[in-house]
Amino acid sequence: MQKIKVAIYGLTTEGYALASKIVEKASVTIVDDTLQMAMDLDAEMVRTNKTLGGLLGEESLLGLKPISQVLSEAKVVLFAPKLRKTGDESIIESTGKMREVARNISRGGTVINILPVGVGGNNDNIALIEKQTGMKVGESLNYGYCPLRPGTDHVAVASFAKMRDYVTPEDIGLRSTEESIVSSELAHASSVLNESASIVTEIELMRRARGQKPITRSGPEKYIDDLAGRVYDLTAIQASEDVGEPLTYLAGAALKSLDNHVRYIVEETRELLRELQLKASKTRVIVAWTVDKYEMRADRVKTAEKLEERLRDYVTDVRHAQVSAGREEVIDAYKHNVAIACSHPDLEWVRGLKGSARTTELTILKATPALQRG
């Protein structure tokens, strides 16, 4: 029996995670919209290369095909694009990429959107697809929604399906949910706003409590990585509502607080240098933040770059380091090293560096709302 053709639009970590789930049941092609080409994936390639980085290091995109051909032949298109912009520009970018998919989708096809949208965003996508194709979703085409968080591959597809003989998520190795697309959309927005509001509250209250008795909290510590991973989702929510609506204020406040948090980290780093009486010329600042350059959203990479740029206003020697780096790449034995740990795994990695380099001066600052020493 011939396998169902599935195109994954986006050479992304999320897209590759989906490929690993469906490659046994479907004929999978992954699209690189930057090169405007696509390559076939098979089960052996995916088993051998557990990550997208591993695949690209080994394969260099073999068996290339034109995007238009791949999309038009696919029975299902999983929309997991690589965004390179942030803020409002990222919304425009994602709309442009959805338009490219719509231009090439064939009658009887299904588009499953993996990228989160704001309130009503799926209706906008459906309208765009119908305008581009001249076909009706629910009659000649099908549309599904499955918002993925950074670093997860939990998939449950909410589907708009009235047409006959459409491909179900189960047909290609995924699973469906009984939720409607609207319910799934609202549930994701609610989750993002609730979690962001909790982090934002800590950031702003901890700022005012600095130097006082620490505020007691429950649960695991939150880092700048946690909030930066929600920027696109918050921007989409903000863009979907009219100015002045409460949801716009909630999303906007969280985005503003992230920018504040970057500023607070820089200020705390300067204060740390003053406390330790360190000269900027004799100090190296290490931004310890392991970010995935292949994930759909560009926000964590861009936030890390922004933090580095602001730190360089005060210290020339600023390095961005990830857990894959060796100690000799990160630590300067002739300077005092200040490491800013931007997630819990990065904190553990930096602590390991400190333990293995006891003769090297290394101070750790945790990029949490409390900005405590590590």
Contact between residue 115 and residue 79 where contact means Cβ atoms under 8 Å apart: yes
pLDDT in tens, 289-340: 999 999 999 999 999 999 999 999 999 999 999 988 777 788 888 899 999 9
Pairing of β 362-366 and β 65-66: unpaired
Residue among 19, 20, 1, 23 nearest 10 (CA): 19
Q: Which amino acid makes up residue 207?
A: R
Radius of gyration of the chain (CA): 23
Q: Is the pLDDT of residue 62 over 80?
A: no
Q: For residue 11, give every residue at least 6 positions away whose Cβ sits within 8 Å of its Cβ, in sequence order, or none.
A: 30, 31, 32, 33, 34, 52, 56, 82, 294
Tell me the pTM: 0.91
pLDDT at residue 59 in the model:
53
Kind and range of the H or E element at 129?
Answer: helix 121-133
Helix (H) or strand (E) holding 64: none
Of residues 69 and 326, the one with the higher pLDDT is 69
Residue 333 structure tokens: 């034995």
Q: Calculate mean pLDDT across residues 169-178.
A: 87
Rounded CA separation 374/363 (Å):
8
- How does pLDDT run across 147-172, given as a tens digit for each residue? 988 766 666 787 776 667 778 888 89
Tell me the domains of the chain and their CATH numbers: 4-179 (3.40.50.720), 184-366 (3.40.50.1400)
pLDDT at position 154: 65
Do residues 233 and 116 touch, judged by C-beta distance below 8 A? Answer: yes
The helix/strand/coil state of 283 is strand
pLDDT (mean) for 161-187: 84
9 phi and psi angles, rounded to 5 deg: -85, 100
- Please, what is the average pLDDT of the chain? 89
| Residue 54 clears pLDDT 90, i.e. is over it | no
Structural tokens at position 44: 């052996």
Measured at the CA of 308, the angle between CA 17 and CA 220, to 5 degrees, comes to 55
pLDDT in tens, 87-138: 999 999 999 999 999 999 999 999 999 999 999 999 999 999 999 999 999 8
Rounded Cα distance, 258 and 230, in Å: 10
Q: What is the pLDDT of residues 233-263, one digit of tens each?
A: 999 999 988 777 898 999 999 999 999 999 9
